[in-house]
Amino acid sequence: MTKRVQPFVALLRGINVTGRNKVPMADLRSFCGKLGWGDIQTYIQSGNLIFSAAGPELSLESELEQLIQKRFGLTIPVIVRAGTSWPDYVKANPFPEASETAPNAVMMSLPKAKPNKGAVEQLRERAKNGERIAQVGDAFWIYFKEGVAQSKLSPGLLDRVVGSPVTARNWNTVLKIDEMLKQAGKPRL
């Protein structure tokens, strides 16, 4: 029985930030092609990868993490979601008004593993400066009213409370990934 090829989104955590964990996107696309993946696209330098492959999300995460370790010498958490689930994330945004006026202040955070029970409540207890937090499915949505730089909700805190590595994308990036998925597999002019 052959596995069905379908689109996926891979989010790499903490690459190409302040000169650390450099992973050139052209190299990443090339190496992913050698894994047998197709329709490979990246968006900006912060580790947003769209591709088509067959297999479960966890296996694809592991393959990509091993590839990054082997080719770049980096241990980078990778979070993979089926492309078919992405429109549900877009529809689930609990902060539509803030997304219209301050799209860079609304973040969707996805954990690598199933979140700890009560994580959203613990994060809300630590929220300051008008920050609002909601959990919809496995996604944690945070509206950083005063901006991310002013927040005490650090990546390390999110990881500890949620129970696994978490990576976040702002609303503009969430929408761009959705747009790219809609175009995936269509002939490019």
pLDDT tens-digit map of 107-151: 999 999 999 999 999 999 999 999 999 999 999 999 999 998 889
Contact 178, 90 (CB under 8 A): yes
The secondary structure of residue 113, as a DSSP letter, is S
CA distance 10 to 37: 12
Flag whether the pTM goes above 0.75: yes
Say which residue the tokens 């937090």 belong to.
133
Q: What is the pLDDT of residue 177?
A: 97
Residue 115 in tokens? 């979140």
- Structural domains of the chain sorted by starting position, each given as residue range(s) with its CATH number in brackets: 5-84 (3.30.70.1280), 87-176 (3.30.70)
Please list the residues that pair with 10 across neighbouring strands.
49, 80
Q: What is the pLDDT of residue 1?
A: 52
Greatest pairwise CA separation for the chain in angstroms: 54
Angstrom distances, CA of residue 39 to CA of 51, 79, 129: 5, 18, 42
Please list the residues that pair with 51 across neighbouring strands.
8
CA distance 187 to 29: 18
Contacts of 174 (CB under 8 A, 6+ apart): 89, 90, 93, 108
Angstrom distances, CA of residue 109 to CA of 4, 9, 40, 170: 28, 14, 23, 9
Confidence class of residue 185 from pLDDT cuts 50, 70 and 90?
low
Contacts of 24 (CB under 8 A, 6+ apart): none
Task: Give the count of alpha carbons within 13 A of 83, CB side only.
Answer: 26
Q: Is the pLDDT at 32 greater than 60, yes or no? A: yes
